[in-house]
Chains A and B, each alone.
Chain A
Amino acid sequence: MLEVFSQLADLLVYDLGGLSAQSKLGDALHFFVEDTSKIFVLLLVMIYAIALVRAGLDVQRIRAYLQQRRRASGYLFGATFGAITPFCSCSSIPLFLGFTSARIPLGISMAFLITSPLINEVAVVMLASLLGWKFTLIYILIGMSVGMLGGWLLDALRAERWLAPFILEAQAAAETQAEQPLAPAAKLSLQQRHTFAKAETLDIFGRVWKWVIIGVGLGAGLHGFVPDGWIAANLGGGQWWSVPIAVLVGIPLYSNATGVIPVMQGLLVKGLPLGTTLAFCMSTVAASFPEFVLLKQVMQLRLLALLFGLLLVAFTLVGWLFNALEPWILS
């Protein structure tokens, strides 16, 4: 079914553009047209489908649900919720506040907050179309595991002490307050779901399409201009130090998953080991300065530093682990 995008690229680049399939430019353009058109179509379908489901999602209800969860399953639900919501940190922080002020354990809210930027439907489409389903599943699995383990560890350290003082005050006040009854669930008609999903699709697609072009363009540039073998020769052995360096390089680089995934693919093709690539990608997406400026408003410096350190260690471990496992995963 997906050959149609390759045929479209044949038509545009070789037949109409008159470029030869053997030339470097023709090859790069073909790659670019095929990948962007494929990703655009899959994105529209996938965002719409997920939004149809999300239309019925009521955050008040999810909060009440998480309050009743036991810790272990709570981490799983927190991380899952983070994965199915496409929130940017500007909208995930109010949710995080809503959760913590309702005395949901910090670790569960953190599992949500960590997983949210790492996994969403846009990232899944990009990963699946550029790197395949197997890789996508691994990525989702690691993203959620980092969120859940991070949440668990923060609870074990009783890190909720280090939330911003205004949250701690609200928590104390919530204890003396009676539970608010939930409003009955609003039943959405198919028409309402469609209206919501259409608006979401236009909004999200309107924000990410340029990132797809930039990302795929960079990826294509990597294909064409980084000499073959350079990365493989210098970093291809999965040298242990290359992983922490990849994580550190990823911090000042701020991108969403959309922009960085095509770059990942380019790096992998050029021979950068899987673990090093994953570590770089996750650090770029999840650990960034703008994100931390936002989080600083709701956390004491101590918690922020702890979270930051935890992410860096987690991504480094992921990198080492997957460099070691690579022969079994990508064979």
Chain B
Amino acid sequence: MEFQVLGMGCAKCAKTIEVIERIGAELGKAVNVSKVTDPATIMRLGVMSTPAVVRDGQVLHSGSIPSRAQVEAWLNG
């Protein structure tokens, strides 16, 4: 499963990537999380609060480190 984490290098962005990767590993799902720091891409996706999580061009979450329940829902959904 491909995820993108959007953010311009804030501490919470790194944490978000870590959370998704860790929960993915725990659930035995193959996840690939990439980091997007390019302001043009962040703007095009309409994200104003970072970190934001995107899958298939869809903004799943924005403005905080996602909770465990949210990440599990994405991975199982």
Contact = CB atoms under 8 A, between A and B. Distances in A.
A98 interface: yes
Interface string B29-60: 00000000011101110111110000000000
A294 B11 CA distance: 15
Nearest to B12: A203
A49 B11 CA distance: 23
Interface in B10-26: 10-13
Interface in A219-238: none
A94 B38 CA distance: 10
Given A88-B10, A93-B8, A60 B43 contact: no
Given A94-B39, A94-B43, A298-B39, A59 B11 contact: no
A15 B42 CA distance: 56
Nearest to B46: A98
B48 A90 contact: no
A170 interface: yes
A94 B48 contact: yes
A189 interface: no
Contact of A94 (B8, B11, B12, B64): B8
Contact of B43 (A91, A101, A199, A294): A101
B48 A294 contact: no
A170 B43 contact: yes
B47 A94 contact: yes
B63 to A, nearest CB: 8
Contacts of B46: 98
Contacts of A93: 8, 39
A91 B39 contact: no
Nearest to A196: B64
B44 A63 contact: no
A90 B39 contact: no
Nearest to A295: B39
A203 B50 CA distance: 15
A97 interface: yes
A63 B40 CA distance: 19
Given A97-B39, A170-B44, A199-B64, A90 B49 contact: no
B7 A59 contact: no
A60 B48 contact: yes
- Interface core residue of B47, B48, B50 (most chain A CB under 10 Å): B48
A20 B9 CA distance: 47
Contacts of B42: 94, 97
Contacts of B9: 90, 294
B7 A91 contact: yes
B44 A90 contact: no
B8 A90 contact: yes
A125 interface: no
Nearest to A169: B40
Contacts of B48: 59-60, 63, 94-95, 97-98
Interface of B: 6-13, 38-40, 42-44, 46-50, 63-64
10 contacts: A89-B8, A90-B8, A90-B13, A91-B8, A97-B43, A166-B43, A167-B43, A203-B12, A294-B9, A298-B39
